[in-house]
Amino acid sequence: MNHTLPIHRALAVLAASLALAACTSTPPPPPPPVDTTTPAQRMAAVQAAAGADDKEVTVQPLRDTQVDDLRQIAGERRGAGDLAGAADALNQALLLVEDDPAILQERAEIALLQGDWARAETLARKALALGSRTGPLCRRHWATIEQTHLARVEKENAASAHAQIEACTVPGIIRY
């Protein structure tokens, strides 16, 4: 009697099973969520968060005329769709007054429009650290930070930043 024949059959069945098992694969992981929000839509969300409330206390510093001119140029270039030109004008203004929260925020917003999420967040956080903790500018800082987190699909961080926006609103003094 030949005992090697059943062993050869068993090995052949095992080899065939392994070959078939190698042909099947686990399904690929689902693709990461894709955020289709455009930079312009993100900027609109920042502007909406800033709001305008005539009952709120806001403080506006006096500015150098050269800085104001550069801010105006940046606004014109942004309006014309020249984001690189707007960024350049604001970068020049920051060379003159590197710690101005409003200019830092404007530059953060240009970075947001350019889709440079990391730079937008860094600039908004620097502006927040240097500026007021109340008012429309504060809300713009936090809304920019929120939008950068949403763009990177960091929902918990975005929710945390969004919660800070309300803390920026302090009602003005009621006078009788």
Assigned token pair, 61: 């510093």
57 pLDDT tier (thresholds 50, 70, 90): low
Residue 73's identity, in one-letter code, is I
Give the span between the Cα atoms of 89 and 79, in whole angstroms: 13
The per-residue pLDDT for range 131-163, each reduced to its tens digit, is: 888 889 999 999 999 999 999 999 999 999 999
Residue corresponding to tokens 């694969």? 25
User: Which residues neighbour 165 within 8 Å (Cβ) at sequence distance 6 or greater?
Assistant: 49, 139, 142, 143, 146
- Can you tell me the mean pLDDT for 96-111? 95
User: Do 77 and 87 form a contact (C-beta atoms < 8 A)?
Assistant: no
For residue 24, pLDDT over 80 is answered with: no
45 pLDDT tier (thresholds 50, 70, 90): confident
Residue corresponding to tokens 């949403």? 150
Assigned token pair, 37: 């929000």
pLDDT at 147: 96
Give the span between the Cα atoms of 141 and 101, in whole angstroms: 9
Closest CA to 97 of 77, 70, 122, 72: 70
Give the span between the Cα atoms of 36 and 96, in whole angstroms: 37
For residue 83, pLDDT over 90 is answered with: yes
- Terminus-to-terminus CA distance in the chain, angstroms? 114
- Can you tell me the mean pLDDT for 108-116? 97
For residue 2, pLDDT over 70 is answered with: no
